Amino acid sequence: MGPLTRLRKVVVLGSTGSIGVSTLSLFEASKAPVEILALTAGRNVQRLIEQAIQWRPLVAVIDDESCLEALRAGLEGTGVRAAAGAAAVVEAAAMGADWVMSAIVGAAGLAPTLSAARTGAVIALANKESLVCAGPALLRIAREAGGSVIPVDSEHSAIFQVLQPACISRVSRLILTASGGPFRTWTREQMALATPEQAVAHPNWSMGAKISVDSASMMNKGLEMIEASYLFDTPEERIDVVIHPQSVIHSLVEYADGSTLAQLGPPDMRAPIACAFSWPDRLPWPAPRLDLAAYGQLTFEAPDLERFPSIAIAREAMRLGGGAPAAMNAANEMAVAAFLDRQIGFLDIAASVAGTLDRMNSLGTLEDASTDPLESAMMTDASARRIAAEVVAQKRQRN
Ligand code: NAD
Ligand code: MG
């Protein structure tokens, strides 16, 4: 992308969310020379208007079309164009930016991320679900267009930073760290009664509701294992997870000679965003610094697969291949929404995902449904959502 001092054209997809806000906060703190072409949001029109007034993008896009009038009214006289709808988000992703932050939550991020990838932009990828749904296709499309995908997820950013391109064939293991989430020390009986408020109260990171629930169930780590396997072309059996409650070591790479490299930093998502923005350079900004003496000790433990079956479910989805990861993701999105809506219990989330995968596997509907990767992922996503809705309804009746 050229030197950091050159003006960069930027699009932020999902600008009103936790990662979107961190991205704009980093731009402000670092005084990075950016020209924002587009900011996009799902339905938080008020925050989008405030951001657009501050950053003056060419266009501000809201996915929810019922918010268009409010967006237009809020932007009157600013010169910022207002647009709405899923197609407008996809268009905004393809405005010819040098750098696109992909920070929409869920499979809804796939089409805009692919759209950005086709332009050859550098994609800063926070939206892990798009990789889980269509990883190989997304990476190939970005490469063929002359662009790249740089991970923003802190674990993958860590691996990306310590992976030595010259000896990739000598990597023996990728080790993802996990905080263990708010229920790390809870019994299954306690977890069965967990409320949405308890599930979203993450000990170290402040994040959107969906990823917070995923962290509590450890499905986040399951999604991240799949993300890592695609990003770093590593099979499931060479990806491990270790619980590290302090979230200081963001992940590790073990080499064939037994040497293990780690990346460390305070838990602040602006650090991996800065890395994705400046790579291979480093963005100077007043970042929080790591004070290891203040931590005193860093601790580690093995994940408990009885209480956190999501890790095993994700391994199974990787072994099944085809549409299984996309189906797992869709079922999880449905189950998390039902849990946040208080329709099902916390443990029903993983059970619903496993039930949906089992049913699709026995029906033989996990094969790639089309030769077009986006269409295939969207078809699998839709059929998994139909089946997950039935599975969730059964759980709801039982509660
Ligand atoms: P969030 O819920 O805070 O924000 C999501 C953003 O996407 C918002 O701007 C929202 O308006 C927009 N959005 C939602 N649905 C949409 C739709 N259908 N169409 C268009 N836009 C839509 O989520 P977040 O915590 O910022 O996470 C974003 C992504 O980054 C997720 O994939 C998450 O897994 C990943 N991630 C987040 C963190 C974190 O610290 N928050 C860390 C690592 C990875
Ligand atoms: Mg992560």
pLDDT, tens only, 99-117: 999 999 999 999 999 999 9
State if residue 171 touches ligand 1 by the CB under 6 angstroms criterion.
Answer: no
Dihedral (Cα; 105, 178, 225, 104), 10-degree rounding? 10
- Of the candidates 381, 387, 353, which has an alpha carbon nearest to the alpha carbon of residue 368? 381
pLDDT at 112: 98
State if residue 105 touches ligand 1 by the CB under 6 angstroms criterion.
Answer: yes
pLDDT, tens only, 65-97: 999 999 999 999 999 999 999 999 999 999 999
Closest residue to atom 21 of ligand 1, CA basis = 42
Neighbours of 383 (CB within 10 A): 20
State if residue 20 touches ligand 1 by the CB under 6 angstroms criterion.
Answer: yes
Residue 296 pLDDT exceeds 80: yes
pLDDT at 205: 81
pLDDT at 144: 98
Amino acid of residue 279: W
Distance between Cα 65 and ligand 2 center (Å) = 31
State if residue 14 touches ligand 1 by the CB under 6 angstroms criterion.
Answer: yes
Instruction: Mention every residue, 6+ apart, whose C-beta is less than 8 A from residue 33.
Output: 4, 5, 6, 7, 8
Neighbours of 293 (CB within 10 A): 6
Residue 132 pLDDT exceeds 90: yes
Amino acid of residue 162: V
Characterise 309 by phi-psi region: left (phi > 0), alpha (psi -120 to 50), beta (else): alpha
Burial 327-344 (b: 16+ CB within 10 A, else e): bbbbbbbbbbbbbbeeeb
Instruction: Mention every residue, 6+ apart, whose C-beta is less than 8 A from residue 341.
Output: none
pLDDT, tens only, 273-291: 999 999 999 999 999 999 9
Residue with tokens 């998502």: 269
Residue 176 pLDDT exceeds 90: yes
For residues 159-185, average pLDDT: 95
SS3 253: strand
State if residue 30 touches ligand 1 by the CB under 6 angstroms criterion.
Answer: no
CA angle 268, 269, 272 (to 5 degrees): 115
Closest residue to atom 19 of ligand 1, CA basis = 42
pLDDT at 10: 98
Per-residue confidence band for 206, with pLDDT thresholds at 50, 70 and 90: confident
- Of the candidates 168, 159, 160, 118, which has an alpha carbon nearest to the alpha carbon of residue 138? 118
Residue 204 pLDDT exceeds 90: no
Rounded to two decimals, the pTM is 0.97
Q: What are phi and psi of 86, to 5 degrees?
A: -60, -40
Share of the chain above pLDDT 70, in %: 100
State if residue 74 touches ligand 1 by the CB under 6 angstroms criterion.
Answer: no
Contact assessment for residue 119 and residue 90, using Cβ atoms and an 8 Å cutoff = no
For residues 217-231, average pLDDT: 98
Residues 221, 242: Cα–Cα separation, whole Å = 10
For the chain, give the mean pLDDT: 96
For residues 121-126, average pLDDT: 98
Distance between Cα 174 and ligand 2 center (Å) = 14
pLDDT at 123: 98
Burial 106-128 (b: 16+ CB within 10 A, else e): bbbbbbbbbbbbebbbbbbbbbb
State if residue 151 touches ligand 1 by the CB under 6 angstroms criterion.
Answer: no
Burial 180-204 (b: 16+ CB within 10 A, else e): bbbbbebeeeebeebebeebbebeb
Residues 318, 99: Cα–Cα separation, whole Å = 30
Residues 219, 353: Cα–Cα separation, whole Å = 10
For residues 217-237, average pLDDT: 97
Share of the chain above pLDDT 90, in %: 92
pLDDT at 347: 98
Residues 241, 304: Cα–Cα separation, whole Å = 11
pLDDT, tens only, 330-358: 999 999 999 999 999 999 999 999 999 99
Residues 201, 94: Cα–Cα separation, whole Å = 35
Closest residue to atom 11 of ligand 1, CA basis = 42
State if residue 80 touches ligand 1 by the CB under 6 angstroms criterion.
Answer: no
User: Of 103-112, 158-167, 177-186, 368-377, which range is least confident?
Assistant: 368-377
pLDDT, tens only, 20-60: 999 999 999 999 999 999 999 999 999 999 999 999 999 99
pLDDT at 397: 86
Instruction: Mention every residue, 6+ apart, whose C-beta is less than 8 A from residue 56.
Output: 36, 78, 79, 80
Per-residue confidence band for 202, with pLDDT thresholds at 50, 70 and 90: confident
Counting from 1 in the atom list of ligand 1, the atom nearest the Cα of 220 is: 34
Counting from 1 in the atom list of ligand 1, the atom nearest the Cα of 154 is: 43
pLDDT, tens only, 367-394: 877 888 889 999 999 999 999 999 999 9
pLDDT at 399: 78
Pure H helices in 58-180: 68-75, 86-93, 110-117, 128-144, 154-162
